[in-house]
Amino acid sequence: MDGQRPSSRKARRRRREGRRPAGPSVEPVLIAARRPNSPRIADTRPSVKPVASAKPVVKQEAPRPARRSRQRNRTEEPVAKRTARIVQLSAPEIDERETLRQRLLTRLALSEGRGAISKAANEYLKEGFDYPREQLIQLQLLEHFDESVARNAVSVLSELLSKEAAIKRPILEQRLRRLEEYADEPSTRESAAHLRSAIRREAERPGDGV
């Protein structure tokens, strides 16, 4: 029986060890051994030279295209301010005005009757023309409905007849007589009578024909 005790103890130990939970496995520590007179591991490492710090590379951005202006005139030079100037008519415009003046003047000279003469005279004046100081035109203006126009024609005729002979004297005397008798303004009647007397005196001189 003494010979069987150790075997029973071993059996119990085995059973106890089988009941213990298996713990985490521990990795063995490895120790590097070197041979005698062999170089150290640190000495066998290749020497690494420090690399000089390279300068940072700066990326140059491409220049941005200039924004197009909404109005192209902004890029242009400023326009000088307009200054007032005298506008001269060109040759074609002068010719057109002269053609119009001659047409209206011819209509006035050929008109008959107080109504037609007054209308033609007003159209001529409306276009900005001045009545010419000529006997034929002033003779027509004696028939104008506006008495101030007729009175001014008497004054112009007085100046003209002091330098030149009268044309169409019978018609001139007839129209002056009408103004002398029927004009509304006394000044018109007096100026017409004075001019009519001057014409009669000039006609009575020897050597003057009718």
Stronger pLDDT, 108 or 202, i.e. the higher one: 108
Q: Which of 26, 5, 7, 3 is nearest to 15 (CA)?
A: 7
Residue (of 205, 180, 192) closest to 138 by Cα position: 192
* pLDDT reading at 25 higher than 60: no
Burial (CB < 10 A; 0-12, 13-18, 19+), residue 154, is buried
Long-range contacts (CB closer than 8 Å, 24 or more residues apart) made by 145-153 = 145/114, 145/115, 145/118, 146/118, 147/183, 147/184, 147/185, 147/188, 149/121, 150/179, 150/183, 150/188, 151/183, 151/185, 151/187, 151/188, 151/191
pLDDT digits (tens, 9 = 90+) for 86-104: 656 566 777 899 999 999 9
Per residue in 37-84, pLDDT (tens digit) is: 655 554 445 555 555 555 555 556 656 655 555 555 444 555 555 555
The 10s digit of each residue's pLDDT in 178-192 is 999 999 999 999 999
Confidence (pTM):
0.55
What's the rounded Cα separation, in Å, for the pair 167 and 123?
25
CA of residue 61 relative to chain centroid, distance: 41
Q: What is the pLDDT of residues 129-163, one digit of tens each?
A: 999 999 999 999 999 999 999 999 999 999 999 99
Token representation of residue 89: 């008519």
pLDDT class of 209 with cuts at 50, 70, 90 = very low
d(CA 12, CA 19): 11
115, 83 Cβ separation under 8 angstroms: no
CB 156 within 8 A of CB 138: yes
